[in-house]
Amino acid sequence: MLNDLREYIGASMSIYSPREDGLYGMLAEFRNPGELVHAAEAVHKAGYRRFDTHSPFPIHGMDKAMGLGNSLVGAWSLGGGLTGLAAGYLLQWWTGAVDYPMDISGKPAFAVEPSVPVMFELTILFAALGAVIGMFAMNGLPRPYNPLFNSERFASVTDDGFFLHVAASDKNFDVASTDELLRKIGALSVEKLYDLDDTAE
């Protein structure tokens, strides 16, 4: 149960568990960004959900091609913003009216008017922090080790390589049929990737 949850969350960050025999997935290389987008569309259409694409630069329209929904970072940001708004209000009220009330030219100990700038600034600060924290919480970065690094071809991903990786943990994954699909949609090469625990030796 707990393991399933961990696997599910990991998969949402593209951290997949290898199969029993250590097979992590299939890695296919494509010629250019356009082909990679079409490949992602085809793989998504074929029913695969646990796959990811890698390219040297962001590709416009890739989210849609991969069938990814709207990012949830916005919700994190909104939550952060509302927290900041409430925190600013409480800070102003507690310090002004409860903990250390002072009479300054007859003004009320707490009023919304002069508190708005504080509430506003904390809203912005917490919204930004919420966005950054949410981004890191959901994208699985930093990730110093990735089984994809076991592929020699994959090194060109920071230069001129466009890759698509289908995880072995996908429910539709099958060595033969996945290989066939990737080749059919124009992969330059398809290789099997293993995630072997070599520290055990």
Partner 1 sequence: MANTLKSSFVTGWLLDPFQPTEQHARGPFRPVLNKLLWIVPLMVGIAGLAVALVGLSVDREQFFFSYLVGWTTCLTIALGALFFVLIQHLTKARWSVVVRRIAESLTWSFPLLALLSLPIFFGMHDLYHWAHHDVMDPSSPHFDPVLKGKESYLNVPFFIVRAVIYLGGWTLLSFLLYRTSLRQDVDADPSIPARQRKISAIGLAFTAVSTAFASYDFVMSTDPHWFSTIFGVYFFAASFWTAHAVIALAAVLLQKSNGLNGVVTEEHYHDLGKLMFGFTVFWTYIAFSQYMLIWYGNLPEETLWYRERLEHGWQTHSAILLLFHFVVPFWVLLARTVKRNGTLLAGVAIWFVLMDWFDMHWLIMPTHSPEAGISWITLAAGIGLLGIFFSAFMYRLNRHSLVPQNDPNIAKSIVFAT
What is the contact surface with partner 1 in residues (CB under 8 A)? 60, 70, 105, 107, 113-114, 116-117
Please say which residue, 113 or 160, places its beta carbon nearer to partner 1.
113
Shortest separation between residue 100's beta carbon and partner 1, angstroms = 20
User: How near is the Cβ of 156 to partner 1 at its closest, in Å?
Assistant: 28
3-state SS assignment for residue 54:
strand
Beta carbon nearer to partner 1, 3 or 70: 70
Q: What is the DSSP string of 29-85?
A: EESSHHHHHHHHHHHHHTT--SEEEE-SS--TTHHHHTT----THHHHHHHHHHHHH
Tell me whether residue 120 or residue 149 sits nearer to partner 1 (CB atom).
Answer: 120
Residues 6+ away with beta carbon under 8 Å from 149: none
Which CB, 2 or 102, lies closer to partner 1? Answer: 102
Write down the least CB distance from residue 130 to partner 1, Å: 15
**Rounded distance, CA 64 to CA 41, Å?**
8
Task: Tell me whether residue 103 or residue 198 sits nearer to partner 1 (CB atom).
Answer: 103
User: Nearest distance from residue 102's CB to partner 1, in Å?
Assistant: 16
Q: How far is the CB of 113 from partner 1 (least distance, A)?
A: 5
- For tokens 């924290």, the residue is 133
Tokens of 161: 């390589």
Q: How do strand 51-54 and strand 162-167 relate by DSSP bridges?
A: antiparallel
What is the amino acid identity at position 193?
L
